Amino acid sequence: MAYQITLIPGDGIGPEVSGAARRILDATGIAFEWDVQDAGMTALEKHGDVLPDAVIASIRSNGLALKGPLTTPIGGGFRSVNVALRHALELYANLRPARTFTGVQSTFQDIDLIVVRENMEDLYAGIEFESGTEPAHEIIGHINRLSARPVSESSAISIKTITPENSRRIVRFAFDYAARNGRKLVTAVHKANIMKFTDGLFLKVAQEVAQEFPSIEFNDRIVDNMCMQLMQKPDLYDVLVMPNLYGDILSDLTAGMVGGLGVAPSANIGERGAVFEAIHGSAPSHAGKNEADPTAMVLSGVMMLRHLNETQAADAVEHAVAEVIAEGDRVTYDLRADRDRSKAATTTEMTDAIIAKLHR
């Protein structure tokens, strides 16, 4: 039986890189039926909506999606399609592995870190009140009645919410992931020394959940110290779990440690569905030129194979990608040591090289 997968080609370089991932996944010999759906600018032009209901319905029904990057139109009151999608499907866990591939230019070597980011709450949930507006004044009035520390009347307000339920769910996800993937250590990242009630709650729940997994080591780090530690001794860390905003920032840091956006995959996972996507955006300046790096999208496909327990195929694709990158002569310009565009492979040529390795 073929796996039914929603495929969102995406905007900008999206169709090229998701097309590459589709070709490579099909080349594994596993049967996929791709339910192609438009979102983002493509959907806005065709259907007048950046996130048509049909997209959500398709992912709900298939339970799995491979998604190209989407352009969020600036202005016009458009919501971020990515955030809307995560909320609509309650994809509460954002999983971002950062692993060194030999041949990718990077300051760090031998990095193998997993960032698990809570996706639903924290400052990132977007509950905000604009400076000088009536709702902001009302909130400030409440705060000044309740809090010993007054808030200036001219303040803009962002609300940070952390719940025990969502904290428990994400920390359990991190420990489950560690247990299933032979990982030894989970580190909770927070700022509980300053945000005692929100991050303090996250940390307390993390410590409780750690008791449920005695075979996995647990520790915690304050987020600023975590950043410094990652620069100085990244080998001491393994799986990192944290609230939404720290996860947003730290996962770009770890992506930078392994060579940047071109090689950084991710998964958004919920109880009833999962969406696999590259971390990078639609890079409009590269669109339609057959020059975008397909690696991040292909590695997102590898994460989907692992999610489906198709471990052999996942290993085969990952090895094929690693070999092509290590050989270095059939890679896109961003992966070339000399950055020489005249000698770089096109997206199609790099994809062909990966498929050739699979067929060996």
Query: Any catalytic annotation for residue 352?
Result: no
**Using the rule CB under 6 A, is 274 a contact of ligand NAD?**
no
Positions 320 through 339 that interact with ligand NAD (CB under 6 A) = 334
The two three-digit tokens of residue 156, written as one number: 């803009």
Residue 314 and residue 305 in contact, taking contact as beta carbons nearer than 8 Å? yes
**Can you spell out the DSSP letters for 233-294?**
-GGG--EEEE-HHHHHHHHHHHHHHTT-GGG-EEEEE-SS-EEEEESS---GGGTTTT-S--
State which residue, 1 or 74, has the beta carbon closest to ligand NAD: 74
Of 111, 105, 128, which is closest to residue 251 (Cα–Cα)? 111
Give the alpha-carbon dihedral of 179, 91, 19, 111, to 10 degrees.
-40
Long-range own/partner contacts, residues 159-163 (CB < 8 A, 24 or more apart) = 159/123, 159/125, 159/127, 159/128, 160/122, 160/123, 160/195, 160/198, 161/121, 161/122, 161/125, 161/127, 161/198, 162/121, 162/122, 162/198, 162/199, 162/201, 162/202, 162/243, 163/121, 163/201
Q: Find the catalytic residue in 110, 224, 235, 329.
A: 224
Of the residues 124, 177, 246, 333, which is catalytic? 124
Nearer to ligand NAD, 82 or 119 (CB): 82
Question: Which tokens hold the place of 150?
Answer: 């007054």
CA distance 153 to 136: 8
Q: Is 26 a catalytic residue?
A: no
299 binds ligand NAD (CB under 6 A): no
CB of 314 to ligand NAD, least distance (A): 20
Q: Which of 6, 82, 187, 254 binds ligand NAD (CB under 6 A)?
A: 82
Q: Which of 35, 38, 220, 248 is catalytic?
A: 248
Residues composing the chain: 360
For residue 129, what is the DSSP state?
E
SS3 assignment, position 149: coil
Out of 37, 58, 72, 351, name the contact with ligand NAD by CB under 6 A. 72
Q: How far is the CB of 32 from ligand NAD (least distance, A)?
A: 21
When the beta carbons of 13 and 44 are compared against ligand NAD, the nearer one is: 13
Contact segment (CB under 6 A) with ligand NAD among 22-30, 48-56, 83-91, 274-282 equals: 274-282
Q: Which of 70, 123, 192, 210 forms a contact with ligand NAD (CB under 6 A)? A: 70
* Among 5, 7, 8, 17, contact with ligand NAD (rule: CB under 6 A): 17
From the list 170-178, 234-242, 244-252, 280-288, the region that binds ligand NAD by CB under 6 A is 280-288
Comparing CB distances to ligand NAD, the nearer of 200 and 281 is 281
Report, in Å, the least distance between residue 43 CB and ligand NAD: 13
CB of 341 within 8 A of CB of 348?
A: no
Q: Is 281 a binder of ligand NAD (CB under 6 A)?
A: yes
User: Of 212, 165, 206, whose CA–CA distance to 189 is shortest?
Assistant: 206
The yes-or-no answer on residue 248 being catalytic is yes
Shortest separation between residue 281's beta carbon and ligand NAD, angstroms: 2
Residue 16 makes contact with ligand NAD by CB under 6 A: no
Which segment (1-9, 93-101, 211-219, 284-292) binds ligand NAD by CB under 6 A?
A: 284-292
300 touching ligand NAD, by CB under 6 A: no
Q: How far is the CB of 26 from ligand NAD (least distance, A)?
A: 20
Q: Which of 191, 220, 293, 357 is catalytic?
A: 191
Which residue pairs from 46-55 have beta carbons closer than 8 angstroms and sit at least 24 positions apart in sequence? Answer: 50/78, 50/79, 50/81, 51/79, 51/81, 51/84, 51/85, 51/88, 55/6, 55/8, 55/85
Which residues participate in catalysis according to the annotation? 124, 191, 224, 248
Residues that bind ligand NAD (CB under 6 A): 13, 17, 69-72, 82, 261-262, 277, 280-283, 285-286, 292-293, 296, 334
